[in-house]
A = this chain, B = another copy of it.
Amino acid sequence: MGDVRNVLWIMCDQLRWDYLSCYGHPHLHTPNIDRLAARGVRFDRAYVQSPFCGPSRMSAYTGRYCRSHGATWNGFPLRVGEPTLGDHLRKVGVVPAIVGKTHMVADTEGMEWLGIDPGSTIGVHVSECGFEPWERDDGLHPPGPYGGHPRYDEYLRSVGIDRDDPWDTAANSGRGDDGELLSGWLLKYSHLPADIPEEHSETPYMTRRAMAFMEEMGDRPWLCHLSLIKPHWPYIVPAPYHAMYRPEHVLPPVRSQAELENDHPVYKAYRESRICRSFSRDAVRERVIPAYMGLIKQIDDQMGVLFDFMEKRGLFGNTMIAFTSDHGDYLGDHWMGEKDLFHDPSVRVPLIVYDPRPEADATRGTARDELVEMIDLAPTFLAFQGAPPKPHILEGRDLAPLLHDSAPPARWRRYAISEYDYATREARQIIGNDQKDARLIMVRDARWKLIFAEGFRSMLFDLETDPDELTDLGADPATADVRERLEAAIFAWARQHHNRITMPPDAIERMTGGEPPGVLIGFWDESEYEATFGRPFSERG
């Protein structure tokens, strides 16, 4: 491996952990992603730090928990002065580029306060959570708060798809029997082919953009965050992918009648919301899931194109590749739609890491059970690309021990943590609680998963006896000791330093036990000074 080390960080959006064949899906075959897993390590207990786009991504990009970066929901700006992976990499000469979605909203008020011109180089980095915006595209083209860079629309027009809002009317719409346009926003039309040639749809387009980026970089070291909007809604996919899966490929929903009797106020409020009622219907699942699977199959094919491209250029020799997602999708499991809560379909993600270093040869094709958090990627990439560790800022762990040695590491985290702020959600209106208190914290250990719900009892699942998380033991007196232990773990985590980010450990170590120059405290006289410092008081600095 030469001196130049690159990172390709592929992130899908809303891809459940279990919708890849390497994770066991029986009908959805993803040979290209599986091939990556065969050359890398597959993590079987990887958790995002919030089961929702914006906060999950801000955690991924800062390497910090939601409680630390503060951008706890979609559209909540990441504060100016919150350092990101891109900021750290830039300092060691790596070009950290975004190709696709970030869900970042700039802190314009903060920039104005600090005199940072949003159009300046620094202002652009601040606005793009530290990335170089090689191509920023969050899907959701205008209108919408993330639609500032509709280069994809221009592209569609350049290839002859010259309509109003072509992202909406071509890439995300189908056609009815009479040729009328039918919107992919409506689930009823998810089975239609998107009204766009496949090659011009979002996933192939953005994959080509990533390849163009790599070509442009030449010998400069880079991190490419290829961040695909799919299989996120609108659930609609172009031919031939729209017809690859049928209702018989739809797995039965993971849910139980007992769940409907669970009266936990937060779960109940979600279950009663329109979205969850919708995704609990078989008709919805049978339309949506085949399209969802088609979108993933298309991603897998594009990964094949991308990996071939990289192979030809020798990039597998010096590029670390991570494949993951920002959260999952309930798809009707647990009577839920979307994400927001902490069942595995929502909060657990696929994570495959290919490490080109020879040290990783021992682990290729293996799977790991250790608890891994999305915030682990930032320190893993930083270490791989030769940046100094920043343990006072980054709250995740370098995955290298798990990538280089198939034996369990001597020390690893015992708990994975995820958070959710439902202040803006319909569920809070249903519950009627204060926006300050709409807080959930998940803690998961090797066996148990507890969801701490502010103002209410915790939810609790025993993943050993109940891997499908169908039985909430949060009110069961027999589990009181487990709840106490896991709530204590949340307490220990919450009271840690989360903001002591200006003082690296070595600086603290240098200060320890001393006073600033010239400061003397509690010395009685000259002789005490001399006995302490070994020089006369008259020679004090």
Among A108-116, A194-202, A397-405, the stretch in contact with B:
A108-116
A76 to B435 alpha-carbon distance, docked (Å):
32
A501 to B107 alpha-carbon distance, docked (Å):
10
Q: Which residues of A contact B (CB under 8 A)?
A: 67-83, 87, 107, 109-110, 113-116, 120, 122, 126, 140, 142-146, 168, 183, 185-188, 233, 274-276, 278-279, 281, 283-284, 337-338, 421, 423-426, 428-429, 435-436, 439, 441, 452, 454, 487, 490-491, 494-503, 505, 508-509, 511-514, 516-526, 529, 532, 537, 541
Determine whether the beta carbon of B114 is less than 8 Å from that of A518: no
How many copies of this chain are found per oligomer?
Answer: 2
Cross-interface CB contact of A500 among B72, B74, B75, B183, cutoff 8 Å: B72
Cross-interface CB contact of A80 among B114, B423, B523, cutoff 8 Å: B114
A382 to B140 alpha-carbon distance, docked (Å):
40
7 closest Cβ contacts across the A-B interface? A81-B81, A70-B499, A275-B522, A278-B522, A494-B494, A77-B502, A185-B520
Q: Could you pull out 28 A-B pairs where Cβ atoms are within 8 angstroms?
A: A67-B498, A68-B499, A70-B497, A73-B503, A76-B500, A76-B503, A79-B499, A81-B81, A81-B82, A83-B113, A113-B122, A114-B116, A143-B541, A144-B518, A168-B518, A186-B520, A186-B525, A187-B522, A274-B522, A279-B522, A283-B524, A337-B521, A425-B512, A435-B509, A435-B512, A454-B495, A490-B495, A494-B495
Smallest distance from the beta carbon of A286 to chain B beta carbons, Å? 12
Determine whether the beta carbon of B114 is less than 8 Å from that of A126: yes
Q: Which residues of B contact A284 (CB under 8 A)?
A: 522, 524
Extra inter-chain contacts (16) besides given A76-B502, A424-B508, A454-B495, CB under 8 Å: A71-B502, A73-B503, A80-B81, A80-B114, A114-B126, A143-B517, A143-B518, A185-B523, A186-B520, A276-B522, A278-B523, A338-B522, A421-B497, A435-B512, A439-B497, A487-B491
Cross-interface CB contact of A502 among B70, B188, B283, B501, cutoff 8 Å: B70
